[in-house]
């Protein structure tokens, strides 16, 4: 079930959007659910993950409800990722970290169906080894085939 939510778009116009009932990130954005916020503006809200990989692990969500990165309007991508970048730039010095891990999950195992980017502080020896999922090598010819499929899908898209 969805509910109608009034919101201002970036041009200051009021519109009604369809938001899935129970979207906890929409509730955080609306102030109905408490969160340890680190950034809030008209583009995004960033708050600490309630189950962090490491202390300071932060989620950045767009104010407007979209489920995936592909659902974000092209003119919203730059401003949204400017906030992700700002957080990733500030995090190492703020948290005495050596760097950050920035990740976006999409649909498969996405625990909340609202676009969110994880910004995670990293230090050498923190136990997170590269990507935390299985890696594999391409079989002969497989990389060429996958690259070709992606090139064809992107043809004219950018």
| Both structure tokens of 30 | 């609306």
47 vs 2, residue with greater confidence:
47
Judge whether 63 lies within some domain: yes
SS3 111: coil
- 């004219």: which residue's tokens? 156
Judge whether 117 lies within some domain: yes
For residue 53, the enclosing domain spans 37-154
Judge whether 80 lies within some domain: yes
- Using a 10 angstrom Cβ sphere, with 0-12 exposed, 13-18 middle and 19 or more buried, the burial of residue 111 is exposed
| Backbone torsions φ then ψ of 75, nearest 5 degrees | -80, -5
Judge whether 100 lies within some domain: yes
Cα 50 to Cα 47, 55, 132, 155: the distances in Å are: 9, 10, 19, 40
pLDDT at 46: 96
Q: Residues 14-24: what's their mean pLDDT? A: 60
Q: What is the DSSP letter of 71?
A: G
pLDDT at 156: 74
CB under 8 Å to 8, separation ≥6 — which residues? 14, 42
Judge whether 148 lies within some domain: yes
- Cα Rg, the chain, nearest whole Å: 18
Inter-residue contact 113 to 66 (CB < 8 Å) = no
Inter-residue contact 112 to 25 (CB < 8 Å) = yes
pLDDT at 6 over 50: no
- 């999409």: which residue's tokens? 106
pLDDT at 19: 58
| Both structure tokens of 94 | 């703020």
- Catalytic residues, by residue number, are 116
Element (H, E) at 118: strand 117-122
| Both structure tokens of 91 | 């995090």
pLDDT at 135: 72
Q: What is the DSSP letter of 87?
A: H
Residue 52 sits in a domain whose CATH number is 3.30.428.10
pLDDT at 82: 97
Judge whether 13 lies within some domain: no
pLDDT at 18: 54
Judge whether 6 lies within some domain: no
Judge whether 99 lies within some domain: yes
Q: Specify the number of domains making up the chain.
A: 1
């Amino acid at each position: 079930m969805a509910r109608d939510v009034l919101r201002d778009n970036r041009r200051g116009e009021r519109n009604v959007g369809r938001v899935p009932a129970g979207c906890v990130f929409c509730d955080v954005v609306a102030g109905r659910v408490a969160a340890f916020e680190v950034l809030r503006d008209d583009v995004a809200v960033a708050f600490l993950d309630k189950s962090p990989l490491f202390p300071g692990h932060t989620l950045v969500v767009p104010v407007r409800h979209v489920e995936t990165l592909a659902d974000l309007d092209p003119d919203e991508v730059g401003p949204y990722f400017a906030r992700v970048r700002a957080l990733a730039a500030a995090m190492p010095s703020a948290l005495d970290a050596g760097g950050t891990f920035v990740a976006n999950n999409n649909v498969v195992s996405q625990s909340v169906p609202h676009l969110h980017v994880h910004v995670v502080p990293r230090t050498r020896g923190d136990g997170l080894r590269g990507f935390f999922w299985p890696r594999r090598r391409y079989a002969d010819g497989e990389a060429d085939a996958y690259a070709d499929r992606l090139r064809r899908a992107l043809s004219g898209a950018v």
